[in-house]
Amino acid sequence: MKRHLTFALAFAALGCGTAVYAQEDFSAQLKARQGQFRIMAINLGILGGMAKGEIEYNAEAAQAAADTLVAVSMIQQGPMWPEGSDDMSIDGTRAQTTIWEENDDFLSKWMDFGTGAAAMQAAAGGGQAALGPAMGQIGGTCKACHDKHRAPAN
């Protein structure tokens, strides 16, 4: 009997260890989506700086930044957001579970970003004054998603 109990406990311990080991590694997906947001932030910073007059307006640089935002908006989001890669499941992310619970809303907000990026692309070559309204539109799309699907910073 003692031998069976020892075997059962060893098997249970092995099973628990295997469950922990079997957790998926989402580091590549996390790096990809964080990289995407860094690219967005850099280019929004260029355009925002120009809109505020903190950076001298340059039509070519503004257009390149806006074109980059459009390109980022076309990245397929599904592979970068596997279920279980939220802030309650892994470290290093502020993605809330609402991304998967309300995925249609999340994807709709991503499409809104694409619409805002396209508006910025159309406005970018039109001078410093044209950047402000486009920044407001695209910034609103970012805020809407962050308010609903991103945990506050600690």
- Say what the pLDDT of residue 154 is: 81
Segment 9-22, tens digit of pLDDT? 343 444 444 333 34
Q: How far apart (Å, rounded) are the C-alpha atoms in residues 103 and 5?
A: 46
Q: What is the mean pLDDT of the chain?
A: 88
Predicted TM-score (pTM) of the model is: 0.83
DSSP at 57: -
- Say what the pLDDT of residue 4 is: 44
On the question of pLDDT at 151 being above 70, the answer is yes
User: What Rg, from alpha-carbon coordinates, does the chain have?
Assistant: 22
Segment 20-63, tens digit of pLDDT? 334 589 999 999 999 999 999 999 999 999 999 999 999 999 99
| Neighbouring C-beta atoms of residue 124, cutoff 10 Å | 24
* CATH number, span 29-149: 1.20.120.10
Name the 3-class secondary structure at 27: helix
- Say what the pLDDT of residue 23 is: 52
On the question of pLDDT at 80 being above 50, the answer is yes
Domain definitions of the chain by residue range: 29-149
- Say what the pLDDT of residue 133 is: 97
